[in-house]
Amino acid sequence: MTLEEYNEAVKQIIAEQQQLGQSTAQLAMSGQANPTSPQFTQIMTGQWALMQKMAKLNTDLMMGIMAPKK
């Protein structure tokens, strides 16, 4: 993975997080942002998956698993 690919992956994760944030806000305004709501649980599961994905990218970056641009 090159640094450019890393940056693109981070941009995609941030865009997905923003979408999840908007969905959470909509649920909150309708009073459904609570652990008993299946939609809220699904959003939080998606957020957790994105956090794990970001952690892996950052770990790869720190461990030097980046390839020079070809």
- Specify the pTM: 0.79
pLDDT value of residue 4:
86
Mean pLDDT by 10 residues, the chain (70 residues): 87 96 94 92 95 92 69
3-state secondary structure of 41: helix
Which two three-digit tokens encode residue 58? 């950052």
pLDDT value of residue 3:
83
DSSP-derived secondary structure letter, 16:
H
Which two three-digit tokens encode residue 51? 């956090």
CB atoms within 10 A of CB 43: 19
Which two three-digit tokens encode residue 37? 């709501």
pLDDT value of residue 38:
93
